[in-house]
Structure 1
Amino acid sequence: MRNVKRLWGIIGCLTVGILLLSALLITRSSPKPDQTQPQRTQPPSQVKEDERIVAKIGNRLITFRELQTALISQHGSELLNVMLDREALRVEGAEAGIQIEKAEIERELKRMQQGYESETQFYQSMKDQLGMSRDELKEDVHYKLLLERIATQNIPITDKQVDDYIKIHPDEFKSVIELSIAQIIVSSREQANKVIGELNKGADFAILARDRSIDDVTANHGGDLGWLEEGDPFIAEEIMNAAKMLKVGEYSKPITVQQGFAIVKLKDRRTKSDPNRSFIRDNVKRELALQKAPPLKDIVKKLREKWKAEIKDPVLQ
């Protein structure tokens, strides 16, 4: 459940990141109030804003207008629908008296940080990979929680149902073992044996990973994969199984992986448990209610119909 939820959240963040970029560009290009006057009263810099050069390749100049047109063509419909969805949720939440507290948003963000070494690393990763700031992530989580609350507001879940679920699924609530793993990936067994030989002579694992590993994602970070839960489905089973057998500080023999051969090092191991029983129960109650609720996309569709959302521009319909 943890990994599936995390993947769902990251995919959602990626989509919203693209849409927010489109929104930023469209907003920056929208006319200001004083730009509605006849052109003779406008400074030349305002008149030609759309023709501002934003990029160049060879003799080809790309203007802000071209960029705006391309963004609207590719993402305009998606962006407009997200805006309508969020507005429908906002007015429905206001009518129903539903409020999402800051503490709820922070708690959800903490859940999304599972698998990251620290909060700082999580937010930096979201910034580097998705271009999303902390405030943009908070806004996305706010609307996600608001939708869930609207969908489940009339679905009662008893304490007994929560207790029964926890008893039936004990593995979801036990302490979690996390491993800090690094890897070196090479293309042949001969190269793998050379790496093992240098490690046996005292070579630094991170430096060898940087110089020898063919895995572009981790090489520049010394082969570091970060903190991972045992059984993480996004890590090759061979690498995870090898790491689980190691003591802290040890490295494995060459193991066969899809890219060639891997040498795995266990940097650290820790047991992670969630002492907040109240949070666990609230989360279970939310999940059980969502299972009984209609599909969330159907909820949004009905809200748009209720609040008479309509796309007027035929290009964006």
Structure 2
Amino acid sequence: MTRQEKGLLAAVVVLTISVLVLGGLIGYKGLQPDRDNGETDADLKDEGSHAAAIIGDDTISEQEWAEELKKRYGKSMLLEMLNRKAIALEAKSQGIRVTQEEIQERLEKQMEGYVSEEAYYEEMQNQFGLSRDDLTLEAMYRISLEKIATLGIHIDDQQVDSYIREHPDEYSSRKQMDLAWIMVDKQDEAEEILDRLDKGEDFAKLARSYSTDQFSRDNGGSLGWTDEDDPFLPVTVMETARSLNAGESAGPLQVPDGYAIVYVQGIRTEDSEPRQEIRQEVRRELALQQAGPLEELEKNLRSKYGAQITADFPSS
């Protein structure tokens, strides 16, 4: 597994809980029967329920909304809230603390493969409704959970060395390319831009003027340094880029969002991570493998601290 694939896996773990709660909310009201004839918005106000949404002459009250959310997601959300309380209590009991440096390091791993930090946060907000604070709190929770899970587990240097030897592709030096691209909607637009590049026009200026990719356009189309097997960029783009020398461009390449012209600004080879960081990551992974399922730990800690769900949930 590459370093970027690790970043993708970490992002999936972080988002699992939030997707459970947020992912299925759109459209649920449309499956419910209309309210009884004669019921008006005024009646809703009389019942102490304010409108959460309006469509045509119909209103969805906050009470209806809350009841539907409770029915569909209430128990799962309560369990997650109890998990967080239990982990906080156990961390305090064990004297475990999570530093800002650890949180930032975790978030940076999750950002790998994105054009920029801003692009990552924008994607998380747009796709999952998760703010920076949400992601920070989730990172802190996962780190606390992992620290509790691995208490008392010792991984010696010999185990770390053995793991690194057995996974050379994961920790060997890798080729990176400083890439830029120009994205357009039509093939003839891309061919026209290629002609202008052949005549000596500046790639960055053309990207700022014509590229449809909002994340890279203002930076002259720059995608930054990317691994040669970057899983976040289209396969056709990466295959073409690997065949180019520094300073060369190629296209048009058909991609999901239109047509791309790719430009290799530079090439370098470097170790996947500083040696000490590699060893720390391997030590953590091996300890987690010995620790067992984190879901089981959450369940055990809820029991240890006497968690109970006393609320009644409507049948679905």
What count of residue pairs does the alignment treat as equivalent?
A: 284
Q: Kindly, what percent of the aligned residue pairs are identical?
A: 32
- 1:147 maps to a residue whose letter is L
Query: 1:255-287 deviations in whole A, cap 9, x for unaligned?
Result: 466x59743312644656577443322211001
Q: Distance in 1 between matches of 2:14 and 2:181?
A: 27
Query: Alpha-carbon deviation of 1:91?
Result: 2.0
Once the 2 structures are TM-superposed, how far is the Cα of residue 225 of structure 1 from its aligned partner? Answer: 8.3
TM-score by length of 1: 0.72
Q: CA RMSD in A?
A: 3.6
* Structure 1 gap ranges (5+): 23-46, 211-217
1:95-114 equivalences in 2 (<5 Å): 95-114=93-112
Worse-superposed segment, 297-306 or 79-88 = 297-306
Encode CA deviations 1:240-266: one digit per residue, 9 max, x unaligned: 111222345643234466x59743312
Q: Aligned equivalents of 1:269 and 1:50: distance in 2?
A: 64
Cα distance, 1:153 vs structure 2: 1.3
Q: State how 1:141-160 maps to structure 2 within 5 Å.
A: 141-160=139-158
CA distance in 2, matches of 1:260, 1:308: 52
2:21–2:73: 8 Å Cα contact kept in structure 1? no
The one-character-per-residue Cα deviations of 1:205-256 (angstroms, maximum 9, x if unpaired) are: 454443xxxxxxx478659683432202243322211122234564323446
Q: Spell out structure 1 runs of 4+ moving beyond 6 A.
A: 19-22
Q: 2:135 is matched with which residue: 120, 137, 144?
A: 137
Judge conservation of contact 1:100–1:146 (CA < 8 Å) in 2: yes
Q: Is the aligned partner of 1:263 residue 2:260?
A: yes
Q: 1:304 to 1:124 in 2, by over 3 A?
A: same
> How far apart are 1:158 and its partner, in Å?
0.2
Q: Does the CA-based 8 Å contact 1:54-1:62 persist in structure 2?
A: yes
TM-score, normalization: structure 2? 0.72
Cα distance 1:18–1:241, how it changes in 2: closer, same or farther (>3 A)? closer
CA contact (8 A) 2:194 2:261 kept: no
Following superposition, the deviation at residue 4 of structure 1 comes to: 3.1
CA drift of 1:133 comes to: 2.9
**Partner SS state of residue 315, structure 1:** coil
Q: How far apart are residue 162 of structure 1 and its match?
A: 1.5
The answer for unaligned runs of 5 or more in structure 2 is: 24-44
Query: Which amino acid is the alignment partner of residue 250 of structure 2?
Result: S
Q: Paired residue for 1:300?
A: 298
Q: Which structure ranks higher in relative contact order (CA pairs < 8 Å, sequence separation ≥ 6)?
A: 2
Report what 2:53 is aligned to.
55
Q: How far apart are the structure 1 equivalents of 2:93 and 2:52?
A: 44
Q: CA separation of 1:137/1:263 partners in 2, compared to 1, >3 Å: closer, same or farther? A: closer
**C-alpha distance 285-50 of structure 1, shift in aligned 2 (>3 A):** farther
1:135 aligned counterpart, secondary structure: helix
Segment of structure 1 superposing worse, 248-257 or 75-84: 248-257
* Contact 1:248–1:267 (Cα < 8 Å) also in 2: yes
Counterpart residue identity of residue 67, structure 2: T
> Shift in Å at residue 83 of structure 1?
0.6
1:204-243 correspondence to structure 2 within 5 Å: 204-205=206-207, 207-210=209-212, 218=213, 222=217, 226-227=223-224, 228-243=226-241
Distance 2:285 2:163 in 1: 10
| Distance in structure 1 (CA, Å) of the matches to 2:48 and 2:66 | 9
Q: Residues 286 and 155 from structure 1, CA distance in 2 versus in 1: closer, same or farther, beyond 3 angstroms?
A: same
Q: 8 Å contact 1:187–1:260 — kept in the other structure?
A: no
Distance in 2 between residues matched to 1:269 and 1:70, nearest whole Å: 54
